[in-house]
Structure 1
Amino acid sequence: MYYMSYSTKVPTRSLRRRISKRNNPKPVLNESKFQETISNLPPRFTPEELADAITLQEDPLVCFHLFNWASQQPRFKHENCSYHIAVRKLGSAKMYKEMDDIVNQVLSVRHVGNENLYNSILFYFTRAGKLIRAVNIFRHMATSKNLECRPTIRTYHILFKALLGRGNNSYTSHMYMETVRSLFRQMVDNGIEPDVFALNCLVKGFVLSLHVNDALRIFHQMSVVYSCEPNSFTYDYLIHGLCAQGRTINARELLDEMKVKGFVPNAKSYNSLVNAFALGGEIDDAVKCLWEMVENGRVVDLITCRTLVDESCRKGKVGEAKRLLEMLREKKLVDRDSYDKLLNVLHKDL
């Protein structure tokens, strides 16, 4: 008897790419749509008229071929508007290879380009995970003699967001945070004033890389140095970071300050607070925070409930843990499956 064996190894990147190509065959140009779009253009169309035609066309492949066809027409030259709409169409369709062809054309023409066009290019390259290509575009912007192409605060927003989204653990977050810090210094040195989004990116980055004290330093500098008031996101990032380090006193202070300003913590902050209070033995504060969370319409996750039940039992508050569990069920804050899991936790602790 023969047995078929299956590999348990994770497929390599090249194999995944080949499988993806097999499952996603190369799209075929719709000739009728292409010819129809060409026929609707005036004899001596302008870049603006071409941009309008591309905007109205839903098929991104037709858009790409239309753009290339226009490039070959006598006395026609693309301008920012036609480059921009082509980049947006292809980028939105995730046709990054075709988009890259157009980007190379943009880079080859000195007088072409503006901040909006380059920011769109940056955005789609970062969305595609092509960070090196994005950084090269940014460098081109920064050294361009065309002042309309120079980076603005929006440019830095795109890069900060992309870099902070790359880290899946504290080590990689720390690596990318160094780049974010360097870009932030460069932004300030170039005379671009940071806004609350840029400062929140720094706060978030420091929290993700476990440098909470640096995050707090930026928080205290926001209004004094940069004339920016912290918003709810600032407090949420900091509360989560402080709770992760068990610094409940500091987290509580920020929570109180947040409430005075009229902000409501998000679910992540509330769950972090309840967990931190419970793990620190502050069961009463944890329960109080949980009900405040519910009152404010935030979702309690299963880990938070489990931690609170578990730690209550450890502190000998078994009766309170049972009552809490029943109240969670009565208020339909946990489903039947979650309730059974929490009940098992309770029985194990008895």
Structure 2
Amino acid sequence: MPVILHRLLKGPRPLFRHLSGLQITDHSLHSRTVSTSATENPQNPEPQNTNLPLPRTRTRTPLQTQFETWTQNLKPGFTPADVDAAIRAQSDPDLALDIFRWIAQQRNYKHDSVTYLTVIKVLVVGRRYHQAETLIEEVIAGACDMSLPLYNSIIRFCCGRKFLFNRAFDVYKKMLKSEDCKPTLETYTLLFNSLLRRFNKLNVCYVYLHAVKSLTKQMKASGVIPDTFVLNMIIKAYAKCLEIDQAIRIFREMGLYGCEPNEYSYGYIVKGLLEKGRVEQGLGFYKEMREKGLVPSGSTFMVVICSLGMERRFEDAIGVVFDMLKNSMSPDLLTYKTVLEGMCQEGRGDEAFELLEKWKEKDGSMGDKNYKILLNGLHFVNRE
């Protein structure tokens, strides 16, 4: 039974009494006539039988009307293209699924990959995730011939649902075994992106790094040429796990695929090197990046500044702070403190106070509160 029919039959306003033939038999008109005639004459002395069942009034709802209209408009011998157009025209995802299910029951008709893909997209947009998952399982079980767009759509859906993460890779393995629907760059992009979303903790990322390595090998073996976005995700995975030499290797290979490193490519390398304590090498990549006119993210700027400050390389750190401010980005309080208070500890308190005033003028978002915190911190360190 279609979803809407089942839902509305259980609800307070039943939509259909009979599905077969889409004909509705309404016996309530006669009951309403009798009931009205009995109550219109208040002088009628005959007692009424109060044990009779109350008349049940049944009217057509907009959903019923739309369902009948679309199903009746499908001419005999309709094709999947006709069905696809009918499903796309529905603004109500439940109605679209009802039409899809009803049509599947008609003789000499079978849904194809196009109609399955369309109804799944309609359901996902309408947030009917459970119904979409049911259809996806039907497809995986062989309900229709597969197509590349349908495979990728299923993987996208599974990657977006936390508890279907493993299912996405099951579908990917089916693609590897298929003859006509091998994984594409889109497929690998979805899978890499899903893996990288789980690299939020250092002790967890090592678990998924093995999957990244395997997926990279399979992508290369299948002849799929990665783009900059995919290569950046691979670089990020290695850098997050502090396997920075492997990250640099991928970085150096980008030209082989016709890709040019961008600010994200450099940013992952710079942060990975600095987190490993390789400050000089990290600063080298930062300078190379800036020479190419690429602007780092705010987090990359601040990692560079703090790393240089902790190494007591204050001249380099100060230069990066001014570079950051020049690009309309502001260091956070900790970054400022690392440089300014570090300078005070090195006996350069007067320079630190002068720098604070200059940075306050250039940093409109510093605010009086942060300025006072920094100023009090400098006074406290200088008294020690």
Asked if these proteins are the same fold (TM beyond 0.5), I'd say yes
- How far has the Cα of 1:311 moved from its partner? 2.2
Match of 1:141 in 2: 175
- How far has the Cα of 1:217 moved from its partner? 1.5
Pair 1:46–1:297, CA change in 2 (3 A): farther
Query: 1:36 is matched by which residue type in structure 2?
Result: Q
TM-score (norm 1): 0.83
Instruction: Give the conservation status (yes or no) of the 8 Å contact 2:199–2:237.
Output: no
TM-score (norm 2): 0.76
Counterparts of 1:348 and 1:56, CA distance in 2: 70
The count of corresponding residues between Structure 1 and Structure 2 is: 321
Match of 2:146 in 1: 113
- How far has the Cα of 1:111 moved from its partner? 5.3
- Tell whether 2:135 aligns with 1:102: yes
- Tell whether 2:125 aligns with 1:92: yes
- How far has the Cα of 1:98 moved from its partner? 1.2
Paired residue secondary structure (1:167): coil
- Tell whether 2:114 aligns with 1:81: yes
- Tell whether 2:73 aligns with 1:39: no
Match of 1:269 in 2: 300
Paired residue secondary structure (2:315): helix
Counterparts of 1:151 and 1:142, CA distance in 2: 7
Counterparts of 2:91 and 2:379, CA distance in 1: 59
Counterparts of 1:38 and 1:310, CA distance in 2: 76
Identity of aligned residues (%): 30
Paired residue secondary structure (1:103): helix
Instruction: Give the conservation status (yes or no) of the 8 Å contact 1:310–1:349.
Output: yes
- How far has the Cα of 1:343 moved from its partner? 3.6
Query: 2:313 is matched by which residue type in structure 1?
Result: E
Match of 1:20 in 2: none
Instruction: Give the conservation status (yes or no) of the 8 Å contact 2:152–2:186.
Output: yes
Counterparts of 2:274 and 2:121, CA distance in 1: 41
Unaligned 5+ segments in structure 2 are 1-10, 16-60
Pair 1:94–1:316, CA change in 2 (3 A): farther
Instruction: Give the conservation status (yes or no) of the 8 Å contact 1:37–1:53.
Output: no
Counterparts of 2:143 and 2:74, CA distance in 1: 28
Pair 1:306–1:89, CA change in 2 (3 A): farther
Match of 1:18 in 2: none
Q: Counterparts in 2 of 1:319-338, with a 5 A limit?
A: 319-331=350-362, 332-338=364-370
Instruction: Give the conservation status (yes or no) of the 8 Å contact 2:330–2:366.
Output: no
Pair 1:47–1:38, CA change in 2 (3 A): farther
Paired residue secondary structure (2:215): helix
- How far has the Cα of 1:328 moved from its partner? 3.4
Unaligned 5+ segments in structure 1 are 1-25
- Tell whether 2:215 aligns with 1:183: yes
- Tell whether 2:162 aligns with 1:131: no
Counterparts of 2:112 and 2:292, CA distance in 1: 48
- How far has the Cα of 1:261 moved from its partner? 2.6
- How far has the Cα of 1:204 moved from its partner? 0.5
Pair 1:295–1:105, CA change in 2 (3 A): same
Query: 2:209 is matched by which residue type in structure 1?
Result: M
